[in-house]
Structure 1
Amino acid sequence: MRNAGTSRYAPEGEPSLAAPRPRPAGRAKPAWYAPTTVGVDLAGVLLPLATVHWAIGRPNPLLTAAVATAGWLALRGAHRRYAHRGLAESRGLLAALHDWALLVGLLAVLRVLFDEGSPPLTSLLALLPALLLTAATGALLHRHLTAERRRAHALRRVLLVGEPPGADEVAARLAAGTDHPYVVVGVVPVGDGSPAFGVPVCGRLPATDADAEHPDGAVVLEAATRLRADLVLAVPGAHLCGERLRRVGWALQDAGLPLTVSCGLTDVAPRRLAVGAAAGLGLLHLDPPTRGGGALVAKAALDRVGAALGLLLLSPLFALVAVAVRLDSRGPALYRQHRVGRHGVPFTMWKFRTMVPGAERLRPELDEANEAHGGPLFKLRRDPRVTRVGRLLRRSSLDELPQLVNVLTGNMSLVGPRPPLPDEVAQYTPAEARRLRMRPGMTGLWQVGGRSDLSWDEGIALDLSYTDNWSLTQDLDILARTARAVTGGRGAY
């Protein structure tokens, strides 16, 4: 996914590599993350539950609330929600919902066992603040951590080891993102090649492991020690694999330094990966994408119910927008366009009209001003064909609302890849055509990742990532993030 912020290899102002350096300030996550999370979890159950039970006259309200609080903290702790490494690494909404559901189930069992007679619905409502406060705290901490990493704080220093082609690709991907903790501070190339990127070379391993006086492990360990690296990231290749990589791992683990190995797979959700072993071999299992079953049935149900409710609740807004479009310029309020759906089946997509009538006929005159970054897309930040009301509708994404009809009829989904035009699909490569395996969506990773600011390649990469790693929980996360993306208006023109 496309990341906001600037690329990075190492924090600005890194000292010379010639001598051991002190640990830079701000490398660790802020120390207040853990106590804040624990404190919010504790207060979110203890205070509301004790208050409600006291208000309805239940005996021992404080004891009841204390037991529920202990269960909540124990569940969260058992799932390592307070572990330093995992704190603030994600927004935590789904984790909070999962833990809260377990807490409700646990308390329901205890209620039966000890014949606790409080009204079930009242107790359930008293537990809701725990879910809301924990989810909100997780989102705020994640946002704070992301901002810290854009300022080159809270990072883990990484030493790369591998042959230049593979190591270059890993270094480039890590440098392009600011949503992860890894910053490359040096590289130990294998063989005679040189890194293509500006990563400091801190040693070199021969193409073959034949130097008895300077074994691989010692070279890597010396470089990692000199750079004060937090971990070594190995990129296996023809000259770094099997027994040779194993000996490097021995040298690092004996010194207490972790070794991470890049498997070569990209844009694969962690839930699809599983580690195993057979005959002494470390194996990485990759599950196929979800293409059927109950999850897709649930997605279809969410689409239809959501679209029906949206059309019902937003019908007054539809009428106001339609009147505004008609008063602003001549022509119909709605605009229909042919798009390509799942498995390449064409359909008619509906939108509120944002351009003057006959805008498509004026397109050839504007081709030279196209601002799209590669590919067959046409984007123009100040398109003269867009009406005054149209600019407002695009900025607020209100022009997309009629697509709820497409969702209700099954041509589109609430969340999915961007609905492509037929002339775009005609130029697809076999890899790009994979995005047609899912129904196009009103929103998606492209919507929360920058919309029109994305290049063609970035948009395709996001759609392919969604298609291959789709899950219902990801859809819910994207829907939640869409509201913020629409409010900010980034990339909407």
Structure 2
Amino acid sequence: MAVTTERPTLRDELPRVQPVRRSALRVMPPIGAAIGRSRPKWERAYQRRLLVTDFLILVTVLLGSQRLWIGLDASQNVASAGRAAAVPYWAATLVLLAVWLLALKLADSRSSRIIGSGFAEYTRIADASFRLFGLVGIVALLCQFLPARGYIVTAFPVGVVLLVASRWAWRQWLRRQRGRGRYLVRVLLVGAAASVDHVYDEFRRRSYLGFEIVGACMPPDASGTGLPLPRLGSFEEVAAIARRERVHAVALAGSAELPPEAVRRIGWQLESTGVDLMVAPAITEVAGTRIHTRPVGGMPLMYVDSPAYEGGKKATKAAIDFGVACVAILLSAPIMIATAIGVRLTSPGPVVFRQQRIGLNGKAFNVFKFRSMRVGADAELATLLKDQGTDDKPLFKVENDPRITRFGAFIRKYSLDELPQFFNVLRGEMSIVGPRPQRAEEVALYDNAAGRRLLVKPGITGLWQVSGRSDLSWEDTVRLDLYYAENWSLLDDFVILLWTVKTVLQSQGAR
């Protein structure tokens, strides 16, 4: 009997796989499914206040311009040429109001990342408004509308000025609240101990930013920071700690212990928490106008422009200095005459005191001041500095200086003694805004870093004037003067002048 054998097929040789029920399938989710931002509770309320303020300002400006140039008569129409349909002015005002508010929204002028500091908030308002101004002009031309010129010319500039002024007022309110420990942003620092120390110092120095540091995450083998910061964990625990501590942002302090792969993984993990990720670069004391970013192959490169010490900006600054000095001398002439009489009547000696200071590129010049000390005060300086133990420090200031006369203390309190320095500005030896001019003996104690203060003209006022004046330490004075020397701009000069008026009137730090 023949036996037949069947040759196994390939299908029979394959292992049998049991069917898997769909409910048993488990797909690992991707790291960091993104959710909405973890906003501070106060953020939305503050933004609503800005929105209401913007709305009220624009309503007032637009209706005021209409009332001034056209009137509030509902029958008044925008003039048109050709066959363009007549548009009532009240309808044009309502449309312009809605579009202006939309432009501010699209410009992100109420973003939490720009409120409270910097010029971005103001520039976005101005940019959105004047872009809208150009758009209105184009639409009016294409549709052959002829709105009253005064209505447009008045509404837009006045609206921009009032919007910026209102944001400034709200910013002052916000900073006062932050000084009381309210309206803060909770931040977790991540990095090596030295990097964490540096970022913490910068945030503490700029308390008006509202950053509340809750703690730090550092490598396991890192030593303590020496700062009042709790060590909450390591890099691998950043997301869990951020969620537990309810922080709003994580600040990565640049360090070798944070390689690119670790930074990217931390970013992935934070996506599922709604926490913002901030990266603090190693470079500091650089103004935003000098920084430009460019993505290259997924890696953001940061360009830092060199400081501008020459060129058109310098010529413009010199021209503005000359003009402002001429106006200031004319306006302050009665005050200078009264001050000169007061100096003459209250103490013997010359009215104007001349002292050699070091200016641009180390060149010496004589600075003019109304005399506020008794005659021969310079000869007493070395002994007074030695007695208080500061004769080896570059900032020559004497605590409770006995050389100052009674009237001299008064004119120093309100900076009246510095009014003759406008003549130094006319002579080209000083600027209106710049680092404080110092004596040759002080400059002799400079290191290379402090010597960079001599790359720009010294000023009658400066960052030191609006940041504490005589209350500042030498280190803080150098830091502020170097920041100004490397980052100065005409807009910053204007802001410093405004702050100088406030500081002098309040006589902050004057001695």
Shorter-chain TM-score: what band? 0.7 to 0.9
State the partner residue of 2:285: 267
State the partner residue of 1:138: 167
Question: Could you report, residue by residue, the CA deviation over 1:122-180 in whole angstroms, capped at 9, with x for unpaired residues?
Answer: 75345554234223211211111111111221122111221212122222322333121
Partners in 2 of 1:24 and 1:249 — Cα distance?
20
Asked if structure 1 preserves the Cα contact closer than 8 Å seen for 2:217 and 2:234, the reply is yes
User: Structure 1 unaligned runs (5+)?
Assistant: 1-21, 206-215
Asked if structure 1 preserves the Cα contact closer than 8 Å seen for 2:326 and 2:426, the reply is yes
Stretch of structure 1 that moved more, 196-205 or 87-96: 87-96
Across the aligned residues of Structure 1 and Structure 2, the Cα RMSD in angstroms comes to 2.8
Alpha carbons of structure 1 residues 94 and 352: separation in structure 2 relative to 1, 3 Å: farther
Asked if structure 1 preserves the Cα contact closer than 8 Å seen for 2:382 and 2:391, the reply is no
Correspondence 1:447 to 2:477: no
Correspondence 1:302 to 2:320: yes
Indicate which of 211, 229, 243 corresponds to 2:247. Answer: 229
Asked if structure 1 preserves the Cα contact closer than 8 Å seen for 2:66 and 2:72, the reply is no
Question: Could you report, residue by residue, the CA deviation over 1:365-393 in whole angstroms, capped at 9, with x for unpaired residues?
Answer: 42256497983223235322212221111
State the partner residue of 1:37: 53
Q: Percent identity?
A: 34
Residue type at the aligned position of 2:301: L
Asked if structure 1 preserves the Cα contact closer than 8 Å seen for 2:218 and 2:231, the reply is yes
Asked if structure 1 preserves the Cα contact closer than 8 Å seen for 2:291 and 2:303, the reply is yes
Alignment of 1:286-435 (within 5 A): 286-368=304-386, 370=388, 375-435=393-453
State the partner residue of 2:66: 50
Alpha carbons of structure 1 residues 423 and 365: separation in structure 2 relative to 1, 3 Å: closer
Alpha carbons of structure 1 residues 175 and 82: separation in structure 2 relative to 1, 3 Å: closer
Partners in 2 of 1:488 and 1:374 — Cα distance?
32
Correspondence 1:196 to 2:214: no
Indicate which of 436, 455, 464 corresponds to 2:454. Answer: 436
Partners in 2 of 1:277 and 1:25 — Cα distance?
33
Asked if structure 1 preserves the Cα contact closer than 8 Å seen for 2:436 and 2:464, the reply is yes
Residue type at the aligned position of 1:189: M
Cα distance, 1:253 vs. partner? 2.2
Partners in 2 of 1:181 and 1:108 — Cα distance?
41
Partners in 2 of 1:71 and 1:436 — Cα distance?
49
Partners in 2 of 1:45 and 1:239 — Cα distance?
55
Residue type at the aligned position of 2:409: R
Residue type at the aligned position of 2:199: V
Partners in 1 of 2:447 and 2:503 — Cα distance?
30
Partners in 1 of 2:203 and 2:55 — Cα distance?
34
- TM normalised by structure 2 equals 0.82
User: Structure 2 unaligned runs (5+)?
Assistant: 1-37, 78-87
Cα distance, 1:335 vs. partner? 0.9
Q: Which has the higher contact order (CA 8 A, sep 6+)?
A: 1
- TM normalised by structure 1 equals 0.85
* Matched pairs, number: 459
Cα distance, 1:338 vs. partner? 0.8
Stretch of structure 1 that moved more, 312-321 or 413-422: 312-321
Asked if structure 1 preserves the Cα contact closer than 8 Å seen for 2:385 and 2:391, the reply is no
Question: Could you report, residue by residue, the CA deviation over 1:82-124 in whole angstroms, capped at 9, with x for unpaired residues?
Answer: 234433445755655555555555555556554526354x753
Alpha carbons of structure 1 residues 394 and 100: separation in structure 2 relative to 1, 3 Å: farther
Partners in 1 of 2:416 and 2:122 — Cα distance?
27
Stretch of structure 1 that moved more, 141-150 or 124-133: 124-133
* Structure of greater Rg: 2
Asked if structure 1 preserves the Cα contact closer than 8 Å seen for 2:190 and 2:250, the reply is yes
Matched residue SS, 1:284: strand
Alpha carbons of structure 1 residues 296 and 175: separation in structure 2 relative to 1, 3 Å: same
Alpha carbons of structure 1 residues 371 and 51: separation in structure 2 relative to 1, 3 Å: farther
Partners in 1 of 2:196 and 2:444 — Cα distance?
35
Partners in 1 of 2:127 and 2:420 — Cα distance?
34
Alpha carbons of structure 1 residues 410 and 146: separation in structure 2 relative to 1, 3 Å: same
Asked if structure 1 preserves the Cα contact closer than 8 Å seen for 2:47 and 2:110, the reply is no
